[in-house]
């Protein structure tokens, strides 16, 4: 910076850095970046689902910190996939992936209950293979599991709903675009407004 400079969030930067910082603070709109971010987020959602399931299975607890951890994992992974950027599309995707993660954590319990309810005939039918229609029905049912669980355990289900909401909010907050206030150009050695 020999003749002029800018400030970005109060820090002095050169003209080239100003352009890079402004573009990195903009909301993500490129489909390839969104897809990459969602893939990273889905991987984190799977990890979060395994952790959530393990806590419920082995400790017989449903604790909110696990949903918040899942939200953190998804938000962090999606942010990494978008090179630190955020935006509304990523926020919606992050919140949805946290919900899907919780649904994946509940799914083994629902399958076990269905198998036990069907008896030996159900286990035999499950081993015979599934049609595409059956897979679609199972997927839709799987996505509805958190809602079914919340509604089925009222009034205690309100706590479960809050837990899921806190996890979704964690991912949402982490994917908010960073605001960038750029001022200038200013003359080197001059006074700033």
Write the pLDDT tens digit of every residue in 33-57: 999 999 999 999 999 999 999 998 9
5 compared with 74, residue with greater pLDDT: 74
Number of folded domains that form the chain: 1
Taking only the tens place, the pLDDT of each residue in 133-150 is 776 777 788 888 888 878
- Residue 107 sits in which domain range? 27-176
For residue 10, the surrounding DSSP H or E stretch is none
Torsion of Cα atoms, 137 then 143 then 144 then 145, to 10°: 110
Q: For residue 51, what pLDDT is reported?
A: 95
In a domain, 5, yes or no: no
48 compared with 13, residue with greater pLDDT: 48
Range of weakest confidence among 61-65, 66-70, 79-83, 103-107: 61-65
Q: For residue 119, what pLDDT is reported?
A: 54
In a domain, 158, yes or no: yes
Range of weakest confidence among 27-31, 47-51, 63-67: 63-67
CA distance 60 to 54: 9
In a domain, 187, yes or no: no
Q: How many alpha carbons fall within 13 Å on the CB side of residue 50?
A: 6
In a domain, 143, yes or no: yes
Give me the percent of the chain exceeding a pLDDT of 70.
87
Q: For residue 15, what pLDDT is reported?
A: 77
In a domain, 193, yes or no: no
In a domain, 103, yes or no: yes
Range of weakest confidence among 4-8, 22-26, 47-51: 22-26
In a domain, 89, yes or no: yes
């Amino acid at each position: 910076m020999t003749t002029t400079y800018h400030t970005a969030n109060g820090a002095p930067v050169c003209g080239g850095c100003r352009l890079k910082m402004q573009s990195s603070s903009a909301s993500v709109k490129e489909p390839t970046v969104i897809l990459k971010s969602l893939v990273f987020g889905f991987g984190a959602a799977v990890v979060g689902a395994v952790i959530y399931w393990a806590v419920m299975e082995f400790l017989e607890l449903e604790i909110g910190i696990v949903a918040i951890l899942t939200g953190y994992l998804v938000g962090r992974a999606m942010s990494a996939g978008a090179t630190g950027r955020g935006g509304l599309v990523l926020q919606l995707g992050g919140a949805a992936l946290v919900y899907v993660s919780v649904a994946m954590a509940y799914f083994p319990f629902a399958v076990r209950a269905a198998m036990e309810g069907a008896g030996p005939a159900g286990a035999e039918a499950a081993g015979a293979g599934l049609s595409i229609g059956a897979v679609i029905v199972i997927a839709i049912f799987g996505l509805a599991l958190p809602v079914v669980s919340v509604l089925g355990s009222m009034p205690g289900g309100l706590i479960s709903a809050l837990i899921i909401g806190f996890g979704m909010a964690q991912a949402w907050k982490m994917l908010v675009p960073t605001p960038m206030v750029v001022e200038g150009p200013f003359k080197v050695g001059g006074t700033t407004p």
